[in-house]
Amino acid sequence: MAKNDVPSFFVYGEPSRSLDVGFLHVETVMERRSVHFGQVAPHKHSSMGQITYWLRGGGVYRIDDRTWSFSAPTISFVPSNVVHGFDVSEQSDAIVVSVSDDLLGAMDAQVELDLDTPILLSGEADDPGWSRLGTTLHMIAAEYRGEGGKTDKVLVGLVSVALSMLARLAGAQDVHLTSPAGALGIALRRAIDNHYKEDWPVSRYVDHLATTPHLLDKAVREVFGQSVKDLLLDRRLLEAKRLLKFTIRSVEDIAREVGFEDPAYFSRFFRKRAGEAPAAWRRRQVRQEPSITLPLCRGYDTPINS
């Protein structure tokens, strides 16, 4: 199956859709048993990464073109647009934490893990580090259910801790899994994060990454399923949405912040890609959320099996 033919899902079995800014969702693998019966075909998620912590059982796991046999405890982190899937026994189960790219970006400075690169790691249940990691993932599941009565900031903090624990357990092992095209796509996304406000043309990214237009376009279409230009514009749109939702700054100020000197041009850009004007989009978000200062919007609630 060509990578461009791999299906993209919201969560497994549900069509891909635009995520709310700050989206986070937690469920177990076997809560979707009726969809996959333990055989999850290769798929990807267009705008969110996933932590998958296997707490019992085992099977075969696939990330891009590599395959491993595994048994619990095993944990993986798969960024957006990375193809993954698995076959597991009926006795297997895992906690899956899905986090939108924008929320991962907000966590990046606080975590030790490279959030652009997939990783898979297995351990021993009686190892103290793995025991603490397992406890943290169960706390995340409990917080998502609301048992602790804590704020969403606590949930985001726990996810950040879990990612840093994963990095610590990985240590110096060669557990990062990136193809050449994946590495180039990741490097471009990192460069875009650093320079999108400067309105660099595509040619400058080509020079910055010491590649060719053809190789960069091929890698980006393989990894992200879109052109370099669209990847750039989507990043500027994402930041504009974040600022509209979580700040009270004016539309004109936000336009300049994301690299548009002409507010009218920014409004046309936003309407074309988001389907409505910036001010209208902000009003709708405020109606949906009692406060626009909260750093996290949950997905729909699904019970987590203990």
- Domain borders along the chain are 3-177, 180-288
Residue type, 112: E
Average pLDDT over residues 215-219: 89
- Percentage, residues of the chain above pLDDT 70: 84
pLDDT at 160: 94
Q: Which is more confidently placed, 182 or 217? A: 217
- Return the minimum-mean-pLDDT range out of 91-105, 114-128, 273-287, 292-306: 292-306
pLDDT at 255: 93
Q: How far apart are the C-alpha atoms of 8 and 202, rounded to whole Å?
A: 26
Task: Indicate the pTM of the whole model.
Answer: 0.66
For 180-288, CATH gives: 1.10.10.60
Q: How far apart are the C-alpha atoms of 99 and 115, rounded to whole Å?
A: 11
Residues 6+ apart with CB under 8 A from 157: none
pLDDT at 20: 79
pLDDT at 138: 95
In terms of C-beta density within 10 A (0-12 exposed, 13-18 middle, 19 or more buried), how is residue 103 classed? buried
Could you tell me if 56 and 71 are in contact, meaning their C-beta atoms sit under 8 angstroms apart? no
pLDDT at 302: 35
Q: How far apart are the C-alpha atoms of 262 and 88, rounded to whole Å?
A: 53
Name the CATH superfamily housing domain 3-177: Regulatory protein AraC (2.60.120.280)
Q: In the structure encoding, which two tokens stand for residue 291, read together?
A: 């406060």
Average pLDDT over residues 119-125: 88
Task: For residue 252, give Cα distances in angstroms to 233, 263, 282.
Answer: 18, 5, 13
pLDDT tens per residue, range 230-252: 989 988 998 898 889 878 899 99
Average pLDDT over residues 99-123: 88
pLDDT at 161: 95
In terms of C-beta density within 10 A (0-12 exposed, 13-18 middle, 19 or more buried), how is residue 214 classed? exposed
Q: How far apart are the C-alpha atoms of 79 and 77, rounded to whole Å?
A: 7
Domains 3-177 and 180-288 share a fold: no
Average pLDDT over residues 216-239: 87
pLDDT at 74: 93
pLDDT tens per residue, range 261-299: 899 999 999 999 999 999 999 988 777 654 333 333 333
Q: Where are the beta strands (DSSP E) in the chain?
A: 23-28, 39-43, 48-56, 58-63, 66-71, 74-78, 84-88, 93-100, 119-122, 297-298
The yes-or-no verdict on residue 78 having pLDDT over 70 is yes
pLDDT at 16: 64
- Percentage, residues of the chain above pLDDT 90: 38
Sign of the CA dihedral with 151 first, then 121, 29, and 183 last:
positive
pLDDT at 12: 62
Q: Which is more confidently placed, 168 or 35? A: 168
3-state secondary structure of 14: coil
Q: Which is more confidently placed, 18 or 166? A: 166
pLDDT at 250: 93
pLDDT tens per residue, range 131-180: 999 999 999 999 998 854 445 788 999 999 999 999 888 873 444 455 67
Q: Which is more confidently placed, 220 or 6? A: 220
Average pLDDT over residues 71-99: 90
